[in-house]
Amino acid sequence: MGTIFFLLIFLLSFYYCIPKIISTTTDVITTNQSIADGETVVSSGGTFELGFFSPNDSTKRYIGIWYKQILPHMQTVVWVANREKPLTNTSSVVLKVNKWGILALLNGKNEMIWSTNTSRSVQNPVAVLLDSGNLVVKDANDDNPENFLWQSFHFPTDTHLPEMKLGKNLKNTAIVEKL
């Protein structure tokens, strides 16, 4: 009897916790929000996550996109923003969208460490992590891909970091050449 009671409490605690976890995740960054180290954006279907990370055996911090379902110790990063400018101290660094539709990584002095670019402006710019793994900057009410201001899929070369462990074949060709 006691065991069943505690099992019930255990299951109920999950029941009440799960909606809270889901309701705090978002797939969008608006001009009123920013992402600090430790906060993430999750694509609507839960496939991809965007946030700060450190590659294996590194203390450097990067903004990237990875597969959410995979366990943290097997993190597979698919895209990196500030590949050329890794951070060592993220305490006052934020990722945000400004009213001109620029998604930027800013330090405490409001200096841009990394940013997207665009040739147009829209009424209500937002950055959205799509379930395809594409990070796009667009108008909040316009889902037409032709009208995206910027998209990470157009910058695929930003994927690999020097610290990232690549597959064996890739390692022999790509990494050894660099060393």
Sites of contact with ligand NAG (CB under 6 A) = 30-32, 55-56, 74-77, 89, 91-92, 108, 117-119, 124, 164-165
Q: Any alpha helices (H) in the chain, and if so which ranges?
A: 2-24, 168-170, 176-178
Nearer to ligand NAG among residue 42 and residue 148 (C-beta): 148
Q: Which of 150, 110, 144, 155 is nearest to 29 (CA)?
A: 150
Alpha carbons 109 and 172: distance in angstroms, whole number = 41
State residue 114 phi and psi, 5-degree precision: -155, 145
Report angle CA 63, 91, 32 to the nearest 5 degrees: 70
Tokens of 54: 């450190």
Nearer to ligand NAG among residue 62 and residue 130 (C-beta): 62
Closest approach of ligand NAG to the CB of residue 162, in Å: 10
The neighbour count for residue 48, using CB atoms within 10 Å, is 24
Nearer to ligand NAG among residue 89 and residue 98 (C-beta): 89
Closest approach of ligand NAG to the CB of residue 117, in Å: 4
Closest approach of ligand NAG to the CB of residue 5, in Å: 43
Nearer to ligand NAG among residue 30 and residue 151 (C-beta): 30
Report which secondary-structure segment, H or E, holds 51: strand 48-53
Nearer to ligand NAG among residue 92 and residue 98 (C-beta): 92
Closest approach of ligand NAG to the CB of residue 48, in Å: 14
Nearer to ligand NAG among residue 164 and residue 175 (C-beta): 164
> What is the 3-state secondary structure of 52-82?
EECCCCCCCEEEEEEECCCCHHHCCEEEECC
Closest approach of ligand NAG to the CB of residue 27, in Å: 14
Q: Any alpha helices (H) in 60-150, and if so which ranges?
A: none
Closest approach of ligand NAG to the CB of residue 22, in Å: 20
